[in-house]
Each structure stands twice: as C-alpha cells, then as structure tokens.
Amino acid sequence: MTVEPQQRPSAASYVYDRLYIGGEWIAPASTGRFEVINSATEEVMGSVPEGTPEDAERAIAAARAAFPAWSQTTPEERAACLDRISEGLTARQPQIAALIAQEVGMPYLHANVIQVGLPAITFTSMAEQLRSHSFEEQVGNSLIVREPVGVVAAITPWNYPLHQIAAKVAPALATGCTVVLKPSEVAPLNAFLLAEIIEAAGLPAGVFNLVTGTGPVVGEVLASHPDVDMVSFTGSTRAGRRVSELAAGTIKRVALELGGKSPYVVLDDADLQAAVISGIGACYINSGQTCSALTRMLVPRARLPEVEAIAAAVASQVVVGDPFHPATTLGPLVSETQRDRVRGYITQGLAEGAKLIAGGAEPPEGLGRGYYVRPTIFSEVTPEMTIAQEEIFGPVLVIQPYDDEEDAIRIANHTIYGLSGGVWSGDPERAKRVARRLRTGQVAINGGTFNPVAPFGGYKQSGNGREFGHFGFEEYLEVKAMQF
C-alpha cells in the first residue's frame, strides 16, 4: 500500500505536558496523563495532561481577569486576531489534517477539507460578521446595545474536534468574550495545535485558555462555576442534561448541540439511484460519527426491494481501510469503546428482527488492527426498534418503509431528536413542503450541501441554541436597553 508523500503522517509523537492558561504554558496541578490512541493502528500517538479542578479554577480566573480589557477592544482589533488565527490554521492545514485523521479516523483527503478547512472558514466568517455587525440600534427612546456575555466555557467532542472548537471559540472571541476550552480527552491534540496558533496570533493573556480533562472532573467545574457566564457544550444528550443541571445553579446561559437520529425522506417521485447514493454518503461520512448524519432512510413501501438492491450495491463499493490510503472512503472509528458499542447495536438490530442487507458485526476482512466496523445496512426497520430510535454513531444505516407522505412525516418525527434531516423528490416545491414539516434544525433538500454560515442546531432533545453565521454570533451577546 502506497501513500502520497504529502499525505503521510509525521512519525513524531505529540506529547504535551503543559496547559495553556493566562497566556502561558504552565505545569498542571497533577502528574496524570491521557494517552491518545491512533484509531487505525491502536498505537499511542501522543499524550496530554489530565487536568484537575484546580487547573480549571486557574483557567477561569485568567479568563475573568482578561475579560474587562478584551471586551472593550474594537471590532476591527478582534477581527484582525481572528483573521490571523484562520491564516495560522491554513498554514498548518496538512499537519493538522494528518493529526485528526489519526485521532478520529476520517480519511485524510476528507479531513483536510472538513476537519481543518471548515474551522479556518469559521474564523474568517466570524471576522466578517464582526466587521458588519451592528451592536447598537435606536428603538423609540431606548438605545439597544449588544455586549459580550462574559467568560465562556467551551466543552467540545471528539468526532469533529477542531470544527466544533471553532464553532464556539471563534464567535466567543469575536463578540469580546474570553474562553476556557475543554476539548475531548479522546482527541485533544488538535486543540494544542490551535492554542499554539492562537498564541502566535498575539491574543492578550487570558483571552483563550486550554485545559484538558474529563467531563466529571473538569467539565463539571466549568459548567457550575459562578465566574463562568455561559457554557457551550457539544456531545451526547445524556451529558447535555448534566451540563444543564449544573449550569442551572448559577442561572448561566447554556447552548447545547446534542445527539441526532436524522431522517432522510425519499419521496415516491425521486430518482432512487441518485437518492440512495446520496443518502448513504450522508450516513457514512466520518464513519458515521456525525451527530447530523442521515441515519434513517425512509422509502415508499412499494419500492423497498428496489431501494435494498441499490443500497446493497452501493455499500459493496465502500472502501474500508487506512485513512491515509487515497482509495479509502471509510476509516476506523475513534476508539475500541466506540467500535464495540456500534457492533453491539448491529447485534441488537438482528436480535430485534431487522433485515440485514449489508455488513454486520464481524470485523472487516484483512483489518485485524484498528477500530474498524463494516459498512452496515438494515431494512424493514420499524419505528419502535432500538436501531431506529437511538444514536448509533457508526456506519449503520436503517431503511424504514412508509405507506404515504403523511406516514413518512410521522415516522420521520417519531424520535426524541431533531438535529437534521433530508428530503429527496423530483419536485423541489414538494420537497420543501415536506421539509417544513420535519421537526429538525436543518434539512438537506435533494443533497443540499453543508453551509458553514447557516445556523446549525436542533429541535427537541437535540439541544438548544445555534452555531455558525449570524445566529451563532448572537449566542454570545447580551442585550441592554438604555432609556433616554
């Protein structure tokens, strides 16, 4: 197996023994370490400090001390800082993409565009938003002003690690907030590279702080601390509930981007070949480790055999393997725990009577090392089955037949989630009509692509608040009315 030279990851190990707090790389309060595992080889590729409550307290204090001055900087000063961060990400894009491909398992060619390219765009777009945003307006005898919310705790996941960091850090910095970032301990190394870029960009001490640690240890301090004004969390719905509980003690603002079980409604006038190919791609991206993945394909009952044949053929063409091989389209999952969890769902689907038409719980052939799962498709899945209700977070698609359009909408909305969705139809107006009835924060119509400046977030137990663009910017602002 050969790899293009520019795609080959560095053999160097990423070992960080300090945290970035108050503009300095300082020793943590304990000697505990997190080892970071290469998802394709199962080898240790780096390590970071295991942060403590004391480390979190120091980071919060640094952010609080930096807030008064940073909040009073001009929009152009802050925008220039964001531009420099974006330029730093772009300059180190191949290195960061290779790192995240190893941490998470996304094929390098995709990681380069998605896992690093999108974060660079987010910093640039927030700089542009900052330059055009109106922070004051006159309403009658009142001057309405928008001010930064304060100290923001950003708690981020492992699946799109840098992308989700940028979604929180960029608008927080743009609006004049200061930040304490706690990345996932499963894929934290990219956050240290970002901290290096932010340091080089010349942000004042304490404006951005990085503390690694677990949710129960560091995350709970950030969510509950009285000197934190807002917590922005992306992760599981279960963990989001805990964040909300802790934040309620100080009535701080909470933004949550949580789980999904997103429906993909293929209407009876759709081009089935195009719709199924697009839908499987939208399910399997990042090995299915995507909260907004379209994991439930709803199809007309009369056309179910045709859909099954197309889906099985498409799945057979998926190339599972080394993220650095140019032909790979499906890499490993992030960890042994995640791999075993996904295989458990596949086994449960079989036990509950779902029809397996591709894949299965057995390891892919020839891949004895690495956290790989076969691209799997179930059909004849009923709404009450576990695999139709719970977020699997792996390359597992479920096909659900429906009787008519009303039945499709009912099934589509029949989960606790509402993050994303999709509709495919030969009639764009019909697709839009159905899309309006899906209780989801986003809907892709006929394969519509992700827009990095459109609002992203969910209905129901997929969370609250929005990220990206104008709506994501506004999340970090307070509104004050001054009467004259």
* pLDDT recorded at residue 10: 53
Alpha-carbon dihedral sign for residues 78, 84, 90, 93: negative
* pLDDT recorded at residue 13: 80
Query: For residues 68 and 79, what is the distance between their CA atoms, to the nearest angstrom?
Result: 18
Chain region(s) in the chain for CATH 3.40.309.10: 263-452
Distances (CA, A) of 404 to 43, 266, 267, 396, 409: 50, 11, 9, 25, 9
Query: For residues 72 and 346, what is the distance between their CA atoms, to the nearest angstrom?
Result: 53
The CATH architecture annotation of domain 5-258+461-483 reads 3-Layer(aba) Sandwich (3.40)
Contacts of 444 (CB under 8 A, 6+ apart): 282, 294, 420, 421, 422, 423
Scanning the structure block, which residue is given the tokens 């081009």? 271
DSSP element (H, E) containing 279? helix 272-284
Question: What's the fold here for domain 263-452?
Answer: Aldehyde Dehydrogenase; Chain A, domain 2 (3.40.309)
The number of angstroms, rounded, from the C-alpha of 93 to the middle of its chain's C-alpha atoms is 18
Pair 311, 359: CB distance under 8 Å: no
Active-site entry in 50, 103, 220, 257: 257
Pair 30, 52: CB distance under 8 Å: yes
Order of strands, sheet of 142-148, starting from the edge strand that comes earlier in the sequence: 136-139, 142-148, 477-483
* pLDDT recorded at residue 12: 57
Pair 367, 321: CB distance under 8 Å: yes
Per-residue pLDDT of the chain (484 residues; tens, 9 = 90+): 344 434 555 555 899 999 999 999 999 999 999 999 999 999 999 999 999 999 999 999 999 999 999 999 999 999 999 999 999 999 999 999 999 999 999 999 999 999 999 999 999 999 999 999 999 999 999 999 999 999 999 999 999 999 999 999 999 999 999 999 999 999 999 999 999 999 999 999 999 999 999 999 999 999 999 999 999 999 999 999 999 999 999 999 999 999 999 999 999 999 999 999 999 999 999 999 999 999 999 999 999 999 999 999 999 999 999 999 999 999 999 999 999 999 999 999 999 999 999 999 999 999 989 999 999 999 999 999 999 999 999 999 999 999 999 999 999 999 999 999 999 999 999 999 999 999 999 999 999 999 999 999 999 999 999 999 999 999 999 999 999 9
Single-letter amino acid code for the residue at 165:
I
Is residue 199 part of the annotated active site? The answer reads no
* pLDDT recorded at residue 2: 40
Note the pTM of the prediction, 2 decimals.
Answer: 0.96
Pair 191, 162: CB distance under 8 Å: yes
Render 219-251 in DSSP notation, one character per residue: IHHHHH-TT--EEEEES-HHHHHHHHHHHHTTT
Query: For residues 484 and 480, what is the distance between their CA atoms, to the nearest angstrom?
Result: 13
Chain region(s) in the chain for CATH 3.40.605.10: 5-258+461-483
Task: Determine how many CB atoms are found less than 10 A away from the CB of residue 269.
Answer: 12
Query: For residues 34 and 214, what is the distance between their CA atoms, to the nearest angstrom?
Result: 10
Is residue 177 part of the annotated active site? The answer reads no
What are residue 424's phi and psi, to 5 degrees? -130, 125
Query: For residues 353 and 337, what is the distance between their CA atoms, to the nearest angstrom?
Result: 25
The number of angstroms, rounded, from the C-alpha of 264 to the middle of its chain's C-alpha atoms is 19
Query: For residues 79 and 77, what is the distance between their CA atoms, to the nearest angstrom?
Result: 6
Tokens encoding 105: 């398992």
* Residues 121-134: b if buried by 16+ CB within 10 A, e if exposed: bbbbbbbebbeebe
* pLDDT recorded at residue 375: 98
Active-site entry in 81, 177, 283, 291: 291
Render 109-120 in DSSP notation, one character per residue: HHHIIIIIIHHH
* pLDDT recorded at residue 3: 41
Scanning the structure block, which residue is given the tokens 């080898």? 43
Task: Determine how many CB atoms are found less than 10 A away from the CB of residue 274.
Answer: 14
